[in-house]
Amino acid sequence: MLLPLPVTTDPRPGTHTLTGVTTLGSDPACAGVARRLRETLSGSTGLPLPEAAAPDATVALTLDPALPAEGYRLRVRPDRISISGGTPAGVFHGVQSLLQLLPAAVYRRAPVTAGPWTVPCVDIGDQPRFGWRGCMLDVARHFVPVAGVLRFIDLLAAHKLNVLHLHLTDDQGWRVQIRRYPRLTEVGGWRAESMVGSRQHERFDGRPHGGFYRQDDIREIVAYAAERFVTVVPEIDLPGHTQAAIAAYPWLGNHPDQPVPVAARWGASRRVLNVSDETVAFFRHVLDEVMELFPSRHIGIGGDECIKDEWRASAALQRRLGELGLRDEDEMQSWFVQQFQRHLAANGRVMFGWDEILEGHPPPGATVAAWRGPALAVAAARAGHDVVACWDSSAYLDYRQSDSPDEPVPVGTVLTVADVRAFDPMPPGLPAELRHRVLGAQCNLWTEHADSPRAVDYLAFPRLSAFAEAAWSPGSAPPWDGFDERLTAHLRRLDALGVEYRRPDGPLPWQRRPDAPGWPRDRADRDAELAALTRNVRQPDGPA
């Protein structure tokens, strides 16, 4: 009943029961993993699990360099449990499988039963299909306090996901402290009100909303995630989705004499950055502080949904086009993005952006989050970019989960648990020699319509559980191999973890939002919209 499905599972006769004399030991490199396992097990079972040398321990965590870095081998016998991993990350993933073999009450923080704490004997050999297995959490539209982010990291780690992409800035809020530019959070960190329901209905709640992470908050989040082998990838959106920054520093915009507030309306603002040298320098300074806080190899710059009306109407920008020898506004966006690609590369980092950065032919080297479909993933790979697959038709967890009118704020097309489980991050039509370009996949959770942790839970789960299997388990496995039955068992674990997921038969009464109308879409309309959005992306002639 494991989820995600391991590569191989070989049941053995007998069981192993954890008792008051069970000991726990590890190699020195796995001491942190052992400490967290002891905290988890002792909290829920009340067992002391005293430390012993790994060769003599009842539960032993060790390294085996012959295994893949994130791979593990779990062996349960009546007298002993051993978990070996290629690295401590692999051992950590093996621990997650061990916890799933125990009763679901093992996920509670205090004992609610006396046991028995019995594990079936088994041999498991496992490793992930992809190295990037992530989730984007949008904390710009609705702020998620630090404790909520830490809880979300725990849930990602329990599903063997290893990337948290934090969407930190947008038109509706700036959520990270930048010492050099304090107004980004003093002004940009809150808005006067928020929309209620989809933007097409023009309803507002009249209630201020705000919040931001101080730099020590970010350090705590990053360190907490690292202990669970989750990398936090920040995103500072440029050059669109920047009205909160322009509200704080109007000279960053194209109409500095026309101040704007932080956006209260959902969707992409038409207020975008100007492309002056001063603006480029401003955001280089911002990214310098971001790089101080986030050690991740990838740094996100967004690059999506830049509405160029202000640029077309700006005499200053049109002069800039001529000075730089650029043909149009798409090439200007590419030039602007390249300034930060070079700055990040000079600091040993890799730029991470949505697939709009392909417009205007940027140089190879960035990693592209392909959200507008597998064709964009193929285009990115052919152009010499690494790819993270996250197309909206399979991985946008804010989309409605059924056609029922009871779905809270139903937006987008229907995306069921089964749809997410069917997601294959390897795009069809990608030549074999370019498949190494697909680093992996992520699901994306936009929070316009998720204003509380309860609402985030409802949108994320159990679809995030299905995504975890799509990103981890072998692509050649039998179709889902008992997935529905395994998910039913997994829901009991989510219950023990306190996750307010969507039930299979629909939302509970308090999960509905009759006060917040949505905007359902059908697949044909969405496909037509995406076709229009991708008209500026041209496929290269052959593999890069």
Write down the pLDDT at residue 480: 73
Residue 61 CB neighbour total at 10 angstroms: 28
Work out the widest C-alpha separation in the chain, in whole angstroms: 78
3 within domain boundaries? no
Q: Are residues 117 and 138 in the same domain?
A: no
Write down the pLDDT at residue 542: 46
Write down the pLDDT at residue 481: 87
**Residue carrying the six token digits 């997650």:** 96
Q: Are residues 206 and 292 in the same domain?
A: yes
Is residue 305 annotated as part of the catalytic site, yes or no? yes
232 within domain boundaries? no
Q: Are residues 120 and 254 in the same domain?
A: no
C-alpha count within 13 angstroms, C-beta hemisphere, residue 439? 20
Kindly state the average pLDDT of the residues 499-504: 98
Write down the pLDDT at residue 538: 53
Q: Are residues 374 and 483 in the same domain?
A: yes
325 Rama class: left (phi>0) / alpha (psi -120 to 50) / beta: left
CATH number for position 475: 3.20.20.80
Residue 292 CB neighbour total at 10 angstroms: 12
Confidence of residue 539 (pLDDT cuts 50, 70, 90): low
Catalytic residue among 27, 126, 138, 170: 170
Write down the pLDDT at residue 544: 47
121 within domain boundaries? yes
3-state helix, strand, coil in the chain (%, to 5): 35, 20, 40
List pLDDT tens digits, range 120-156: 999 999 999 999 999 999 999 999 999 999 999 999 9
CA distances from 67 to 71, 89, 91, 332, 393 (A): 6, 12, 10, 47, 35
Q: Are residues 207 and 302 in the same domain?
A: yes
Distance, in Å, from the CA atom of 224 to the CA atom of 41, rounded to the nearest integer, reads 19
Domains in the chain, number: 2
Q: Are residues 118 and 147 in the same domain?
A: no
> For residue 4, is the peptide bond before it cis, meaning its omega torsion is within 30 degrees of 0?
yes
543 within domain boundaries? no
Mean pLDDT of the chain: 95
Kindly state the average pLDDT of the residues 194-206: 96
Write down the pLDDT at residue 527: 76
Confidence check: pLDDT of 529 > 80: no
Kindly state the average pLDDT of the residues 87-93: 98
CATH number for position 39: 3.30.379.10
List pLDDT tens digits, range 35-81: 999 999 999 999 999 999 999 999 999 999 999 999 999 999 999 99
Q: Are residues 470 and 370 in the same domain?
A: yes
Q: Are residues 148 and 35 in the same domain?
A: no
Q: By residue range, what is the domain housing residue 383?
A: 132-162+171-227+237-388+396-410+424-533
52 within domain boundaries? yes
Is residue 278 annotated as part of the catalytic site, yes or no? no
1 within domain boundaries? no
List pLDDT tens digits, range 320-350: 999 999 999 999 999 999 999 999 999 999 9
Confidence check: pLDDT of 177 > 50: yes
Buried b (16+ CB within 10 A) or exposed e, 453-488: bebbbbbbbbbbbbbbbbbbbbeeeeebeebeebbe
**Residue carrying the six token digits 């100007």:** 274
Start-to-end Cα distance in the chain: 42
Share of the chain above pLDDT 70, in %: 97
Q: Are residues 321 and 209 in the same domain?
A: yes
Contact 459, 518 (CB under 8 A): no
Catalytic residue among 142, 241, 449, 490: 241
- Give me the DSSP letters along 30-70: GHHHHHHHHHHHHHHH-----B--TTT-SEEEEE-TTS-TT
Kindly state the average pLDDT of the residues 361-379: 92
Contact 434, 382 (CB under 8 A): yes
DSSP state of 470: H
Confidence check: pLDDT of 530 > 90: no
Q: Are residues 18 and 81 in the same domain?
A: yes
DSSP state of 262: P
Q: Are residues 95 and 142 in the same domain?
A: no
Write down the pLDDT at residue 131: 98
Residue 527 CB neighbour total at 10 angstroms: 13
541 within domain boundaries? no
Is residue 170 annotated as part of the catalytic site, yes or no? yes
Write down the pLDDT at residue 39: 97
Helix 146-158 and helix 215-227, axial crossing angle in degrees, nearest 10: 20
CA dihedral 47, 53, 57, 61 (to 10 degrees): 90
Write down the pLDDT at residue 81: 98
List pLDDT tens digits, range 14-43: 999 999 999 999 999 999 999 999 999 999
Q: Are strands 298-302 and 231-238 parallel, antiparallel or unpaired?
A: parallel
Q: Are residues 67 and 113 in the same domain?
A: yes
Catalytic residue among 305, 331, 419, 495: 305
Confidence check: pLDDT of 541 > 80: no
List pLDDT tens digits, range 457-499: 999 999 999 999 999 999 866 677 899 999 999 999 999 999 9
**Where in 402-528 does DSSP place strands (E)?**
411-412, 438-445, 519-520
539 within domain boundaries? no
Confidence check: pLDDT of 543 > 60: no
